[in-house]
Amino acid sequence: MKTYDVIVVGGGAAGFFAAINIAEQNPEMKVAILEKGKTGLQKVKISGGGRCNVTHAEFIPSELVRNYPRGEKELLGPFHQFMTGDTIAWFEERGVPLKIEEDGRMFPVSNSSQTIIDCFLNEAEKNDVDVLYTHSVKFIHPITHEDTSQNRFKVETTKGTFDCDKLLLATGSNPKIWQLLEDLGHTISPPVPSLFTFDIKDKRIKNIPGVVAQHVEVSVVNSNLWSEGPLLITHVGMSAPAILKLSAFGAIELAEKHYNFDIEVNFIKQSFEDCIEALKALKQLLAKKVVVKSAQFELPKRLWQNLVLASHINDDVRWADLNKLQLEQLASQLTKAVFHVTGKSTFKEEFVTAGGINLKEVNFKTFESKLHKNLYFAGEILNIDAVTGGFNFQNAWSGAYIAAQSILNSE
């Protein structure tokens, strides 16, 4: 049986980040990462289309936490300890500068996730972290001393047994590890998908994939779920931030609906009444022009055309000839168009899960279990998820860093 001071289970973003920080700050500590796969950092590799969305350019903790449907309250304190700026500095100090894109997402200047992977692998090697691949954990045994405080662990894997003083679990959405934690008394919120696109079959969007409406409001009918932002029409339905945020905040509720529900889309972020008034003014202003050819409200031409036709306005009708009913129908399509969602699709490779360890069972000053002393958590193993990959990674960096500091300071 091999003994370590610290064992990190999970060779992903949070696992590597924690192990490196521990080993770097205390070279005397023997640190190992146990990873079930042949390689680690797989989510890092595919994130952001292979560019790795490292974090998001939001530098105020109270604003940053609003991007977490689960974990908003718990992460406020941790983000005051290790924040976006700290993440940027950490990578830059190790030769990986980051850049901010227009939408706030941050990527390595190299535009390649391999830069992040190489950084982690090099830092782990430099700081003598043992990275052990194809070690799938089978059992976790707390070793209880006579004073009843559990402060050591035995970890059995498919390739051997290990012993450690401190154990950090950073295994993401891993049902087997969640089951082991349930056996140790922890409560697991059942996992459901988060961050997905909507499958919609509707003639109004059938022939216009790739079209983007920049400023929309979307709500789920008969619920309090609501979102805003750009909306992308795809080959199978709708995507982009307006939809993804809605899917994240509605992950549990939409799962309960079996992904079969109606959404209402306001394509122009105006009230029905204000839209009617605007259309009446256009009826005067553009009297001789053909309605279907006169896109308004900064809407893409093809989307405008489809919404006009859906309002029972023929493709040769001029603005001057619109009657009251047609104006009302067009205003309805623009401000409260209802679409039926029949299912969900994974958003690229950015698969994110809502669910995990009950947050009430974790001390967020240390990321230590409240049930077992010297057992720590970081990343998506907790019931925390966010509206895009960059926010999920920031949760991983912050949690891993604070857990690392807690482990170092508890010696």
User: Domain residues of the chain, as ranges?
Assistant: 2-193+352-409, 196-346
Compute CA 90 distance to the chain's CA centroid, rounded to the nearest angstrom. 22
Can you read off the two tokens belonging to residue 323?
Answer: 């009657």
Q: How far apart are CA 290 and CA 313, in angstroms?
A: 10
* 411 pLDDT higher than 80: no
Q: pLDDT tens digit string along 10-38?
A: 999 999 999 999 999 999 999 999 999 99
User: In terms of C-beta density within 10 A (0-12 exposed, 13-18 middle, 19 or more buried), how is residue 313 classed?
Assistant: buried
Q: How far apart are CA 152 and CA 166, in angstroms?
A: 6
Question: Model's pTM, two decimal places?
Answer: 0.90
Q: How far apart are CA 227 and CA 246, in angstroms?
A: 6
pLDDT at 17: 98
Look-up of token digits 């000839």: 321
Q: pLDDT tens digit string along 140-167?
A: 999 876 655 557 999 999 999 999 999 9
Let me know if domain 2-193+352-409 sits in CATH 3.30.950.10.
no
Helix pair 84-93, 389-409: axis angle to 10 deg = 80
Q: How far apart are CA 380 and CA 396, in angstroms?
A: 7
Can you read off the two tokens belonging to residue 30?
Answer: 């023997």
pLDDT at 233: 97
Largest Cα–Cα distance in the chain?
91
* 350 pLDDT higher than 60: no
Give me the chain's average pLDDT, please.
95
pLDDT at 347: 65
3-class state of residue 310 by DSSP? helix
- The dihedrals phi and psi of 3, each to the nearest 5 degrees, come to -110, 135
pLDDT at 348: 59
Confidence of residue 388 (pLDDT cuts 50, 70, 90): confident
The region of weakest confidence among 189-193, 208-212, 227-231, 306-310 is 189-193
Three-state SS annotation for 217-228: EEEECCCCCEEE
* 309 pLDDT higher than 80: yes
pLDDT at 48: 86
C-beta atoms surrounding 60 within 10 Å: 11
Please list, in sequence order, all residues whose beta carbon lies within 8 angstroms of the beta carbon of residue 377, skipping any fewer than 6 positions away.
168, 169, 170, 357, 362, 367, 369, 399, 403
